[in-house]
Amino acid sequence: MNVLVTGGSGYIGSHTVVELMTAGHEAIIVDDLSNSKECVVSRIASICGRKPSFYRINCTDAGKLARVFVENDIDAVIHFAGYKAVGESVTTPLAYYRNNIDSTLTLLEVMEAYGCKKLVFSSSATVYGPENPHPYREDMPAIQSASPYGWTKVMIERILTDYCTSKPDFCAVLLRYFNPIGSHTSGLLGDDPNGIPNNLMPYIARVAAGQLEKLTIFGNDYRTPDGTCQRDYLHVVDLAVGHLKALEYAQDHEGVEAFNLGTGKGISVLELVKAFETANSISLPYVIGPRRAGDLPAFWADASKAKNILGWEAKLSVEDMCRSAWSFASSS
């Protein structure tokens, strides 16, 4: 299959491109490099032994996106492209709504113009909002979020649902990710955000590398076993494999379907810190700070739907996640 991967040089996108190419598909990356680097494309080539096609394009540019469809016989699209920093989305909501919603609408219009009817969308557990009890199940209302970033995911899920109603032969698979961490075993790809990381694992990695002085754990007075927040951390390579399964599913299905991609287990911040220290024989300086606004105490996935319908489940351990994250951070 020829698969267009928007945001394909980003963290999850690049790992997914590797899995696609390893499985024998052709990947065509569209990315504006607003939060990734072009060297990722040659790193993918050294892992896979061949280069994916690459277009430096923002997906809101319909003319340039159409050219990609003209030059490549696109069978399906995996749509990652979008801004993704929760805190930044609170200070610049218009940029988030404009970019994330507009790029999806433009992509759908171009897909329609070129008769492409299979889409896998990069959604998030954030759509379950603060009201649902965990573990989150796909049949719970997924219509809430705490940030403009999260609302773009809710809105895009809605847009795709309405689009599928209007086009019964279109298939949109909504993948609701929990907390992906870790890196490819080659150490060539990983989570490498610009500036000071917001997310836990890249922050831990920079502390371990001595680039940041210490980790601040945001609160230890939550009603959880050790007082720190619990999340469902999953290995990014497992997550990437989930996209292949979703693509296979989309080939012989129509309509919209959502799947959680998580392990089904909650891990606390302190447990992850300890796991990182043990896996890498590193001592990690940390302090306990105040709670971060907007954090939920705990949530994880009910991952049974993906297992039963897609035949996907997370296989890699927390130790694998911590080792590979450090292997990437210490070599880049």
Q: Which of 11, 128, 149, 177 is catalytic?
A: 149
Alpha carbon distance 267, 279 (integer Å): 15
Among 59, 142, 200, 239, binds ligand UFG (CB under 6 A): 200
Indicate the residue among 214 and 315 with the shorter CB distance to ligand UFG.
214
CB-count burial class (<10 Å; 0-12, 13-18, 19+) for 160: buried
CB count in 10 Å sphere of residue 162: 11
Number of residues counted as binding ligand UFG (CB under 6 A): 20
Work out how close the CB of 203 gets to ligand UFG at its nearest, in angstroms, rounded to a whole number.
4
For the bound state, the minimum distance from the C-beta of residue 195 to ligand UFG, rounded and expressed in Å, comes to 13
Nearer to ligand UFG, 84 or 245 (CB): 84
What is the rounded CA–CA span in Å between residue 164 and residue 274?
45
With CB under 6 A as the contact rule, which of the stretches 32-40, 115-123, 211-219, 242-250 interacts with ligand UFG? 211-219
**Smallest gap from residue 268 Cβ to ligand UFG (A):** 8
Nearest distance in Å: CB 78, ligand UFG:
17
Q: Which string of x and - marks every residue 20-49 that binds ligand UFG (by CB under 6 A)?
A: ------------------------------
Task: Report the b/e string of 85-99 with b at 16+ CB within 10 A.
Answer: bbebbeeeeeebbeb
Is 149 labeled as catalytic in the residue annotation? yes
Residues 6 or more apart whose Cβ sits within 8 Å of residue 57: 30, 31, 32, 64, 65, 68
Q: One symbol per residue from 260 to 299: x for binding ligand UFG (CB under 6 A), - otherwise; what is it? A: ---------x----------------------x--x----
Considering only residues 75 through 134, tell me which ones interact with ligand UFG, judged by CB under 6 A. Answer: 84, 86, 124-126
What phi and psi, each to the nearest 5 degrees, are found at residue 99?
-70, -50
Helix residue spans in the chain (DSSP H): 11-22, 39-48, 62-71, 86-91, 93-96, 102-113, 148-166, 200-208, 236-251, 269-280, 304-305, 318-331
d(CA 320, CA 183): 9
Task: Kindly list the catalytic residues.
Answer: 149
Contact residues toward ligand UFG (CB under 6 A) are 84, 86, 124-126, 150, 179, 198-200, 203, 215-218, 229, 231, 269, 292, 295
